[in-house]
Amino acid sequence: MVLAIAESVHIHAIPRFAAPRLTFEPTEPMRIAIVLPESTTPPLPACHGWGVLRTLRWMNRISERFAALRQRGEKGLVVYIGAGDPDLAATERLALAFDKAGVDVLELGIPFSDPLADGVVNQLAAQRGLESGATPPQVLKTVSAIRRRSQIPIVFFVYYNLLHKYGLDRFIRDAQSAGVDGLLVLDLPPEESGDYTTLMRSAGLAAIFLLAPTTPEDRVREIVRHGEGFLYYISREGVTGMQSKVADTIGPMTAMIRRHTSLPIAIGFGISNPEQARQVSAHGEAIVVGSAIVNQVAEHGKSPDLAERVGAFVRSLADAVKSR
């Protein structure tokens, strides 16, 4: 089934689609989710009884997953690993293990030589990925391979230089074709994104943006207007990395962000163990764990049961988040 979202809709009567199912969300502006047969593709067929119908976009796996979590009253787990660490075959095995372990969104970091937002753990993972040949085209092939066996939502964690070199429009089209659901471009602020968000929406991909403890409220208001899928809230200043305790500003900041958006908030940077995961999940729709998992990959990278070992650690995080 294909799920479409229509915004700014005024309803006069029930539309006459071929056996659709209508569901309603009490958000503002009012949204109506329309589940159509697979054979139906944009644009919508002519129908009767609609007043205004505009800003149609097709839900991808990220939006579907967060909608399902909300319906079940659960929090989500987003995990990050570096693609190609220790090699792309391992990346595929880890993705499948994470799906079984209860991960809701997988972030794949495309290796880059100057990962300015990352701490030493993820920098080393990027180096291992570069050495294993994890170029953007090869990472896209790996996603295609994952898609043959899993529908886990996948986000690329990527620096803009790689997109610029590849060609922005071409990269977005190739990512969509491979089965990617969203991009988080770490060094691309909305004000400088040009056609990026337009191209992403046209491809049905979620453009995910970062918010930080230092982001002022007027800028939060501007950033969330461009976001899709979910917002990534960086819970502390600095770079990625494991921390011994969670930041005490998470609650006030997420409350402020919610005043300006209904998008899910995923909280990351520094979450290192199940207890921290449980604690932080109280403030958002999901938590993001990266360095602690990448550290497990580094520790067990040469083990034949890498996916099982790291998967067990990830399952402990998922159990902590979902058993609240």
Residue 118 annotated in active site: yes
Tokens of 177: 């074709």
Between these two residues, 244 and 125, which has the higher pLDDT value? 125
Q: Structure pTM?
A: 0.82
- Could you report how far apart the first and last alpha carbons of the chain are, in Å? 31
The catalytically annotated residue of 85, 92, 104, 107 is: 107
CA 291/CA 272 separation, integer angstroms? 7
Return the pLDDT at 117: 77
Beta-carbon contacts of 230 under 8 Å, excluding residues fewer than 6 positions away, are 62, 66, 78, 105, 206, 208, 263, 264, 265, 266, 285, 286
Of the candidates 100, 96, 95, 102, the one whose C-alpha atom is nearest the C-alpha of residue 77 is: 102
Q: pLDDT digits over 19-71, tens only?
A: 333 444 444 333 344 434 333 334 444 333 333 333 334 569 999 999 999 99
Q: Does residue 43 sit in helix, strand or coil?
A: coil
CB 103 within 8 A of CB 79: yes
User: Judging by beta carbons within 10 Å of its beta carbon (0-12, 13-18, 19+), is residue 285 exposed, middle or buried?
Assistant: buried
**Per annotation, catalytic residue among 74, 87, 92, 118:** 118
CATH number of 62-322: 3.20.20.70
Q: Model confidence over 97-129: pLDDT tens digits?
A: 999 999 999 999 999 998 887 888 989 999 999
* Pairwise CA distance, residues 245 & 272, whole Å: 9
The reported pLDDT for the residue numbered 323 is 77
Residue 10 has pLDDT above 60, yes or no: no
* Token representation of residue 79: 């995990």
Tell the residue number behind the tokens 């056996």, with chain if given. 19
| 125 half-sphere exposure, CB direction, 13 A CA radius | 32
Q: Has 237 been annotated as catalytic?
A: no
CA-closest candidate to residue 59, choices 36, 26, 75 = 36
The percentage of residues in the chain with a pLDDT greater than 70, rounded to a whole number, is 78
Residue 319 has pLDDT above 80, yes or no: yes
Residue ranges matching CATH 3.20.20.70 in the chain: 62-322
Q: Which one has a higher pLDDT value, 16 or 264?
A: 264
To which residue do tokens 């009253």 refer?
A: 73
Residue 140 has pLDDT above 60, yes or no: yes
pLDDT at 162: 97
Task: List C-alpha distances in Å: 125 to 113, 234, 266, 273.
Answer: 11, 20, 22, 19
Distance from C-alpha of 25 to C-alpha of 48, rounded to nearest angstrom: 22
- E strands in 172-318: 182-185, 206-208, 210-211, 231-234, 265-268, 286-289
Beta strand 50-58 with 2-11 is: antiparallel
